[in-house]
Structure 1
Amino acid sequence: MEPVRVGLVGLGRIGRFHAGNLAGRIPRVELVRVVDADEEIARKIARGLGVSGWSTRYEDLLEDPGIEAVVIASPTPLHAGMVEAAARAGKHVFCEKPLSLDMERTHEVVRAVRSAGVRMQVGFHRRFDPDYRAAREKIAGGDIGEVYLFRTSLRDMRSPGFEYIKGSGGFFADVTLHDFDTARWMIGEIEEVTAFGAALSDPGFEEVGDIDNAVVALRFVTGALGVVDNSRVAGYGYECSSEVMGSKATLRIDDHRRFAVQTLTPGRMCQDYVSDFVERFAEAYRREMEHFAAVVRGEVDAKPDGADAAAAFALARAAERSYREGRTVRLAPVERDGGILYEEVG
């Protein structure tokens, strides 16, 4: 079978990681061209990965008839326009989250992709992590019985910097979005969101109108409860851990060590911690790109898709309103156009 020919735009940290996977770690895939606004970066990455084409123009990807699919890892404000342009060009799309920082614009992008008849996968990498997938299979198989509680922690070791935060769309859209998608994917739809947040580590967070720590309480349609805690400034390392408590059993996901070695000294035990999301989820990101290649070939469904991105973003907006207005936001999940649309109640 001929390899899937892919072009990638955006060579920041996650873009470089995707490019590395596409260039040599994904069977039956050929990374044809990389694009970045910085000419030096585009040339250097292409040369380092042995990729024949590089450019500073996104249009070069779209105008190449040999490229079947594009991976969009550019800054968030560019996502919507780039996805629509790729769809018009007949290219299948992988786009990092979120599709847009505007709800209506998000829905416009989803409709544009459907109208063009191309496939789109969105970057919720946790769905491809072996531990999270195994846990979801146990839940779906009834191994833990009726779900009572979903708890998850997502914490960064250090802040990405205020220039990034200014354009990130806010804490809940940038950080908690992954937890909302995981909650829907593992447990089900959500009907109540109550969020608390604070800027604790640096007054600069307040100055840009954002926070660095948050706790979100959830109520699922099933009646199960959920608790999410997030931090941009945990200090000790990167953590993404989850727990699902059921009537028969409890599942825990907590894999943050580089090595399964403990150092024991008198009165103390030490164990290393990973420092960031790329290190923790390296295998998930590889499997994510492998899945996208299968999506392009038509072998599997494009999941998570644009509807999943819209649902997670709707929950992030609900959390933002809850935090800003000091109230619980009640939601009604409604099936529409092959996905879930969240409507605020009351």
Structure 2
Amino acid sequence: MTDHPPASPRPGGALRCAMIGAGRMGQAHAQVLATVRGVQITWVMDVSEDHARHVAAELGAQASTDLAHVLAQPDVEAVLISTPAGTHADAIEAAARAGKAIFTEKPLAKSLEDAARAVRAVEAAGVPNQVGFQRRYDPAYVDAKRRIDAGELGRLEGFRAVGRDPEPPPTGYLITAGGLMVDMGGHDLDLARFLVGEVTEVRAIGGALVKPELADHGEHDTALALLRFENGALGTLEVGLRTAYGYDIRTEVLGERGRLHIEQDRRPDLTVYDARGVSHDRPRHFSERFPAAYAAEITAFARGVQTGHALTPSVRDALHSLQLALAAQHALVTGETVRVPEFGEEIMNEFPLEGRS
């Protein structure tokens, strides 16, 4: 049961949403939301009143620092949560109790215990829910998934992912973000599951090559992981927090009949030839690489809530991606080879996925 009845969407009208969190990710969402039809931001909530007011003014919304106040408003049917990872579970629980449809950025939480608490709340309330693994909505990844599911590659044998940011966030953020494999590698590990299947075993090595002070906190800015999939395929993941050339995201799936390679190496589609040689620009940040994916996932969320169609990935699906990311982080910190199905097994047994025991 919910504490409040769900808000009633306007027939044929925009989905009225509250943006919970107006930091870096929230402001990136604000830029995308301005281009998305069918979504109206009515409230912006952030612990920083200045941030809330600034983003709200851009969106023509009201601002608040009080989550409970925002959730009580009749012109809020759904929430878009992009607060720090450690606050996601509490915000999800509160929104579920208030009967709101929920879109939340990954990860669900920084621990399986907190994430499971959020999943229980959402499923008990029966509210629509979606987690922001936006790459699942990127046109290239959508096409790759279609081809894989259609059997074009035949038996899957290999997976490779590269994820590198152009520069690291502040050290204070990194030591509270939950670990490199969760914060940076989480998207790539979700793609491993999405494109190839469940991972049964992970091992990892890493270092503090960009920000040596991270070693004092047991954190990393560069890492490599090895993956063994349930279907027998093998995979690698490379993550890092500095490049000299921009945002570097690459994904490869190898099968017995061929290979799919996803990479956006230039932006815009212009090559310059001059006395210095040949050059082209490339995406510098995630907002430049994935604007279509962010717009598509939010549009899918809005349409799904309005029509009652299933949303994906759900909080339960995202819990399994978090299990893999936390297992990879544990392998990175300890040097152990981790059996993923056994990592947090007692908790995960409560939340089986269809087709997985």
For this structure pair, what is the TM-score category when the shorter chain's length is used for normalisation? over 0.9
Counterpart position of 1:59: 68
Any conservation in 1 of the 2:38–2:299 contact (CA below 8 Å)? Answer: no
Offset at residue 321 of structure 1 (A): 2.2
Identity %: 37
What is the aligned counterpart of 2:143 among 130, 134, 139?
134
Structure 2 residues without counterparts, runs of 5 or longer: 1-11, 343-347
Offset at residue 342 of structure 1 (A): 9.6
Counterpart position of 1:6: 17
1:19 aligns with 2:33: no
Any conservation in 2 of the 1:331–1:342 contact (CA below 8 Å)? Answer: no
Q: 1:137 to 1:59 in 2, by over 3 A?
A: same
Any conservation in 2 of the 1:120–1:302 contact (CA below 8 Å)? Answer: yes
Counterpart position of 1:249: 258
Any conservation in 1 of the 2:32–2:291 contact (CA below 8 Å)? Answer: no
Counterpart position of 1:223: 232
Amino acid at match of 2:212: P
Counterpart position of 2:267: 258
Counterpart position of 1:199: 208
- Partner SS for 1:21: helix
Counterpart position of 1:43: 53
Matching of residues 261-300 of structure 1 within 5 Å: 261-265=270-274, 268-300=277-309
Structure 1 vs Structure 2 CA RMSD:
2.0
1:32 aligns with 2:42: yes
Structure 1 residues without counterparts, runs of 5 or longer: none
Counterpart position of 1:152: 161
Q: 1:196 to 1:3 in 2, by over 3 A?
A: same
**Residues 100-138 of structure 1, C-alpha deviations (whole Å, 9 max, x = no match):** 111111111101100011121111110010011111111
1:87 aligns with 2:96: yes
- Partner SS for 1:339: coil
Counterpart position of 2:335: 326
Which region of structure 1 is more displaced relative to structure 2, 131-140 or 333-342? 333-342
Any conservation in 1 of the 2:218–2:333 contact (CA below 8 Å)? Answer: no
**Residues 143-182 of structure 1, C-alpha deviations (whole Å, 9 max, x = no match):** 1211111111000000011011121011111111111110
TM-score where L is the length of structure 1: 0.93
- Partner SS for 1:296: helix
**Residues 200-252 of structure 1, C-alpha deviations (whole Å, 9 max, x = no match):** 12221112321111111111111011111010112321111111111112111
**Residues 47-79 of structure 1, C-alpha deviations (whole Å, 9 max, x = no match):** 22222x111211222111221100111111211
- Partner SS for 1:332: helix
Offset at residue 2 of structure 1 (A): 2.1
Alpha-carbon separation, structure 2, partners of 1:230 and 1:143: 28
Alpha-carbon separation, structure 2, partners of 1:83 and 1:49: 23
Offset at residue 266 of structure 1 (A): 5.8
- Partner SS for 2:340: strand
Offset at residue 317 of structure 1 (A): 1.8
Count of matched residue pairs: 341
- Partner SS for 2:13: coil
Alpha-carbon separation, structure 1, partners of 2:332 and 2:356: 18
Any conservation in 1 of the 2:247–2:286 contact (CA below 8 Å)? Answer: yes
Counterpart position of 1:117: 126
Alpha-carbon separation, structure 1, partners of 2:194 and 2:349: 15
